[in-house]
Chain A
């Protein structure tokens, strides 16, 4: 399973919800062991794209291949971690019980402590989730996504509501995981986070505007700041 060159291979995916076109022929590839940033405004299609990686969205056209398996495929999901935008947790369970549960349904419970330490919640592991702050819940949700040591980690806006200090800490963690061979896809609309990614995909109105390293994208738009590049590339391809 680790012999594939790409962790995610999306080929010309189209998805509509009624009249709304959420994904309009998106093609992109996430390499093994890289941190790939999906950058775009709210409603651009980032979440829909990530959901298609785990088979929750069935594309009308095109294919999604994850860790060498054409989706939808159930078994490969044991090697994928998915952190939803909303901190999806069981409020009546403790942080540790939540993490244990998501480990168990993916067939691995040996990483509970490591996951909780990674998000700095080991000391609060006995706390019931409903008593945790918003930021702590986000971190607990992240721990649930990586407890089974996935080869591919999908993070839908993981640092919303997380304080700057912990954000830096989390990003150091992501970098470390990537260095260890984990492929990570992070969606964000925060530009300074995008700078920390190996490569970026700029997405707007369900279309991929540009793909490449931060430097490549800046060069393509002939600007110095990523924000300006995004605006310029958006104008270049109107919806």
Chain B
């Protein structure tokens, strides 16, 4: 299951709508191993095509350098399909190379319907998963937090 904030979903959909009819693409980064899509990173579709997307190779290198420096990984890799359903194509499957990422697809084929679906793609096997959109991600576990939840009144 993918748990993602409304704010990030809105940003992905806005990017997809803006670039329609070309495909839009990007990632949502999060701390390594956290499975938390926290940082929205839209990318340029170097292919500028309604049927193909590709991160520019220089952008890709800078992106991964930046992720490394922040101890982050691509938690979500998103792109849009602009005339077809939000299901991974043969091309999507052959290129998928992050077994721990959620592959999020947005279809913009209907002007007023946002179709958002998420998949794991591992060894060319596609598994659809539930997308749970939450108002905000729950607070990140912090290393200096108490081992057990504190009792008593929550102050606001």
A interacts with B? no
Interface residues in chain B, defined as those with a beta carbon under 8 Å from any beta carbon in chain A = none
